[in-house]
Amino acid sequence: MSNQGKKTLRNRISNLYRNSNVGYNVLRPFYKIYEFGLKLIPDKQFIEWYFKRYMGYSIDLDNPQTLNEKITWLKLHDRTDLHTLVADKYTVRSYIAEKIGKEYLIPLLFHTKNASDLKPENLPDSSFIIKNNHDSGGYLIVKDKSSVDWLQVQKQFKRNLKYNFYYSTREWQYKNIEPRIIVEELLTTENGEIPNDYKFHCFNGKLAFVHVDIARFGDRRRNLYDANWDFIPCVWQYENGEKENKPELFDKMKSLAETIAKDFIYARVDFYSVKGHIYFGEITFHHHSGTQKFKTPGCDLKFGQLLKLGIENE
């Protein structure tokens, strides 16, 4: 079987496990054995294996060069309590309110540690998004709560609360987050669409580049722009899309991102610009866990040379 075929099979099994009651019940015993085995692997050994699995070559952790290599190095060597605080999608709200102001927070509508609390009477009649605070990428968008199977949602988020994202990627900041469910207002544009989010990649406290995902729920495209909003001809996972004009609030978002990122070697700070207002999305310390390939030769190394870890031989 080809590598792409193996990846497709893994994704199907993962989706079956996470999104199907039958799949969950059948696969749960096998997954618990797999999870137990993961916990026995030392972080360095796991990180080296993980990198090679997704990038196709072995990483030299003593001399990382590319952006993905350096992000991977940070997974092993850059671990503080502050990373845990701000990786938590619930506790980061207090941090952001103090750092740049509570006016940049997406309105929080509900939060709980008990998935059984996810029921219509506890939730607003307006559109909202349900997330876990302790993982990456999991969410449910609700535009009409009367059309939702809430028992299924409760089962899904109950499972999510048991999952420790750290063991599958070794992104240490997730290890000690107290699991919680949060419900936020769903941001939409004037046309009722999900807005683009602007992902500010900051190196050593300064903006290096921004990436913007276009049509995330359709024919997904991605553009990269430098700190002055000049287009960067790099293809990173997704093909380039139509270039867009510099956002009206770009300079303000850039300033806010650098304020947040100044305490970190590398941080991706996400913002939304909606109806003339800036909203903070999240902070990510290891974009795609340091394993997202550039399709354009040289870009990975180019960006890696800009990020300084303090171990480089000048």
* 70-84 pLDDT per residue, tens: 999 999 999 999 999
Of the candidates 190, 185, 184, the residue with the CA atom closest to the CA atom of residue 275: 190
pLDDT range class, residue 193, cuts 50, 70, 90: confident
Handedness of CA 167, 173, 176, 179 (dihedral sign): negative
Of the candidates 307, 279, 311, 303, the residue with the CA atom closest to the CA atom of residue 206: 307
* 4-32 pLDDT per residue, tens: 555 566 667 666 666 677 667 777 777 67
In whole angstroms, give the CA distance from residue 198 to residue 211. Answer: 6
> What average pLDDT does range 167-190 have in this prediction?
96
Element (H, E) at 186: none
Predicted confidence at residue 8, as pLDDT, reads: 67
In whole angstroms, give the CA distance from residue 132 to residue 177. Answer: 11
Q: What is the mean pLDDT of the chain?
A: 92
pLDDT range class, residue 219, cuts 50, 70, 90: confident
- Distance from CA of residue 81 to its chain's centroid? 19
Of the candidates 295, 111, 304, 128, the residue with the CA atom closest to the CA atom of residue 204: 304
Specify the range with the lowest mean pLDDT, choosing from 72-86, 135-149, 252-266.
135-149
CB 97 within 8 A of CB 88: no
